[in-house]
Amino acid sequence: MFTGIITALGTVRAIQPLGGGPKGDKDMRLVIAAPWPDTADIALGASIACSGCCLTAVDLRTDSFAVDASAETLACTTLGTWTVGTQVNLERSLKVGDELGGHIVSGHVDGVGKTISKTPENGSIRWRFQVPMGLARFIAAKGSITIDGVSLTVNDVQGDTFGVNIIPHTASVTRFGTLKPGDAVNIEIDMLARYVARLAETHLAETR
């Protein structure tokens, strides 16, 4: 579990194919350089959220770690578009007693959204994103959402698009500093919204 509070901005250092699947799909090993003081205190097998996608550390070096991503993960997230040099939002898994600064994030990406626009608004930037309609129904104004692993508050919703505001600090310590319209982003809807919707659907089906 995570909170959506990014603790480091990493960079993809290497991408290594791991073999072909039945359709020729390949899993990939991603080596990510991390600016943490030392990765030695990260346990082998630990979970690390990489731009919102929960991945397992399979190799550790002094200034980097490696994760394996399946062909399914590559196809259903933005990871399949990563190249050497891609910036990655990083968050290590939550420990009991840690401060809950964002909201409960599972690291299970629900879908890929598209960056529509960025507009200066007072001292921040209003970003607008488009998501598949299947996800749009879970997004509500003043609710929580995770974009590339960043916990954010939804400011407005219009159909299949929504807006959030990014303050300068967030832009300086996350990939939002280099994000641009047209870029794809990993979306995780609020876990509470998911279960509330499921309960409502179940109740409606039972009353028919």
- Same-domain pairing of 79 and 129: no
Tens-place pLDDT, residues 16-68? 998 766 555 789 999 999 988 767 678 999 999 999 999 999 999 888 999 99
- Same-domain pairing of 47 and 78: yes
- Same-domain pairing of 72 and 130: no
Count: domains in the chain: 2
Beta bridge partner(s), residue 157: 162
Examine the fold and report which residue of 64, 92, 120 is the final residue of a domain before the chain moves on.
Answer: 92
CATH no. for residue 151?
A: 2.40.30.20
Residue 98 placed within a domain:
no
Q: Is the pLDDT of residue 1 over 80?
A: yes
Domain that holds residue 169: 111-198
Q: Which of 101, 191, 88 is nearest to 144 (CA)?
A: 191
DSSP string, 167-205: -HHHHHHSGGGT--TT-EEEEEE-HHHHHHHHHHHHHHH
Residue 132 placed within a domain:
yes
**Cβ–Cβ under 8 Å, residues 184 and 112:** yes
Tens-place pLDDT, residues 127-165? 999 999 999 989 999 999 999 999 999 999 999 999 999
User: Which pLDDT score is estimated for 101?
Assistant: 78
- Same-domain pairing of 83 and 133: no
Residue 204 placed within a domain:
no
Residue 23 placed within a domain:
yes
| Integer Cα distance of 208 and 206 in angstroms | 6
For residue 157, give Cα distances in angstroms to 134, 140, 161.
14, 6, 6
Q: Three-state SS across 9-26?
A: EEEEEEEEEEEECCCCCE
Tens-place pLDDT, residues 69-128? 999 999 999 999 999 999 999 999 987 777 777 788 999 999 999 999 999 999 999 999
